A and B are shown apart, each in its own frame.
Chain A
Amino acid sequence: MDTASSLGFFVMVTIIKVVVVMLVLLTVIAYLTWLERKVVAHIQSRWGPYLTGPHGLLQPVADGLKFLFKEDIVPLEVDRLIYWLAPFLAFTLACLSIAVIPFGAHYQFHGHELFQLTDLNVGLLFVFAVTSLGVYSIALAGWSSNSKYPLLGGLRSSAQMISYEISLSLAVIGVLMISGTLSLRGIVEQQAGLWESGGLGILPHWNLFLQPVGFICYFTAAVAETNRVPFDLPEGETELVGGFHTEYSSFKFALFFLSEYANMITVSCLATLLFFGGWLGPVFGPGWLRLLLPVLWFFLKVFCFLFFYIWMRGTLPRFRYDQLMAFGWKFLLPLALLNILVTGLIMTWVG
């Protein structure tokens, strides 16, 4: 194969992979909104969406169409360019980090990794870099709206996201110390197998059992980073009308909405990969099943996290702002630092 056609092949395969991943991602996001409404409704003894399709299954489609056809109201005094830029930035960044997430076991199709868009050797840092830029979309949306409630929401969120980003990064350092790599695929592959002693022969070799504190820190910080209940102060309907997206309507509002769900999926994927062994699980049967089962395990684990997110939303009240800051800086950050210290000490001791 000469270089030109192999380059063409590479581009074609990459485009197909990107399109498939984006379609799956958007479908999952759409049905995540349905799931959220359903689960929260059942927690509150209601039925939730029921009329559009069986059990309201077509509700996401109806919502999407509604968002597309609604009138797009742009307030008079907004900063035009940034007002337009912010929602697109939010959505692009939210979808970008999915590029380095591996969905399934290592399988090469004509020299291309089948279940991952690209395997960076600094994959984890890439996700953190993209997430750290996500705060701009919210801050800029709040500022450019030129209105007091969005501005307050934007300010709150930038302070909150910077604060919790530190805990988020520090929480995973324990895992990195154990696995010794920043590649997400490498981190998962290092968790293969079962515990040799003390696990009754059924406990999988997940990082969760080595880093329970790290996991708790990670997940708490991740919820705050994605602005979900109980840390949803940037939105805070009862205090700020709707927070940073008060002045947005129609499709631009939908983009913010979608990016919030995409971010939830990203941090859930990351939690699965870092602490719950990613796609690893019992694999059996013929060749095609051996290929697809890991993907199923991965999706199941991610689904559990997403369900947990929704469960929390139906259960917990919102933090007060000073409580949020005190919790992040005075409890979560020291805990994450202590976790690194203890992990390092044990690793030096055990060798």
Chain B
Amino acid sequence: MAILFYIAAALAIVAGLSVILHRTPVYSALSLIVVLGALAVIYLLLGAPFIAMIQVIVYAGAIMVLFVMVIMLLNAHREQPIDRSRFAHYLGGPVLIALLVEILFAVWRQFPVSSTPPAVGLEGDPASIGHLLFRTYVLPFEVTSILILVAMLGAVILAKKQP
């Protein structure tokens, strides 16, 4: 189990780096799919098969397909690096490292290395997740879906040609 976790985690990190380092958009998108797949494996190891499968179906199988399709439609090949902003060039690295240290510090303070993972008291099976979504948190859940619907409508209206 531990070995599988380290393999999946390493894969996620390497693929995540390749998302931002690749100059060809298709390769970046493909790396992102690998990241999502590796995360699904980690969810599986955490005992949440439902979340793992939904992760693959929704993110890798639907959203990323749209990304890949748009990249294909635009037929985007290699990106040309643009070195216009000297400000970003010099400050980007330090700001990134500061942010990373801050996040790591917060995580470490919350969960010391020696601590055992907190018992959530939750099963990862579809039924219990369904109960949470449609009984306990039904209002936030529905409000979120309305929000997404409104955003979608907005996108359709903006994209529509003016008469």
- Among listed B57-65, B133-141, B149-157, interface-contacting one: B57-65
Q: Are A133 and B72 in contact (CB under 8 A)?
A: no
Chain B 99-130, CB within 8 Å of chain A: the 1/0 string?
00000000000000000000000000110000
Q: Are B61 and A165 in contact (CB under 8 A)?
A: yes
B9 at the interface (CB under 8 A from A): no
Contact string, B33-73, partner A, CB cutoff 8 A, digits 1/0?
10000000000000001100110110011100110110111
B8 at the interface (CB under 8 A from A): no
Determine the chain B residues whose CB is within 8 A of the CB of A165 once the complex forms.
Answer: 61-62
Per the bound structure, the CA–CA distance linking A189 and B73 in Å amounts to 46
Cβ of B72 and Cβ of A151 under 8 Å apart? yes
Q: Which residue of A lies closest to B50 (CB)?
A: A122
Give the residues in chain B near A128, CB-CB below 8 Å: 53, 57, 61
Interface: B26 (CB within 8 A): yes
Distance, CA A158 to CA B57, complexed state (A)? 14
Known: A135-B65, A136-B33. A182 touches B72 (CB 8 A): no
Q: How far is the CA of A121 from the CA of B50 in the complex (A)?
A: 9
Count of A residues near B, CB < 8 Å?
Answer: 28
| Contact in complex: B60, A155 (CB < 8 Å) | no
Closest to B49 in A: A122
> Are B62 and A162 within 8 A (Cβ)?
yes
Residues of chain A within 8 A of B26, CB atoms compared = 79, 82, 140, 143
Contact A139 B69 (CB under 8 A): yes
Q: Is A289 an interface residue (CB 8 A)?
A: no
Closest Cβ of chain A to B135, distance in Å, is 16
CB-based contact A125/B69 at 8 Å: no
- Contact of A133 with B60 at beta-carbon distance under 8 Å, contacts A121-B125, A140-B68, A158-B68 already known: yes
Complex Cα spacing A288 to B57, Å: 40
| Pairwise interchain contact B72-A125, C-beta atoms closer than 8 A | no
Q: Which residues of B contact A139 (CB under 8 A)?
A: 65, 68-69, 72
Q: Which residues of A contact B (CB under 8 A)?
A: 79, 82, 120-122, 125-126, 128-129, 131-133, 135-136, 139-140, 142-143, 151, 154-155, 158-159, 161-162, 165, 169, 182
Apart from A82-B30, A136-B68, A143-B72, 11 more pairs, CB < 8 Å: A82-B26, A122-B49, A122-B50, A125-B57, A129-B57, A132-B57, A139-B68, A140-B68, A154-B72, A162-B62, A162-B65
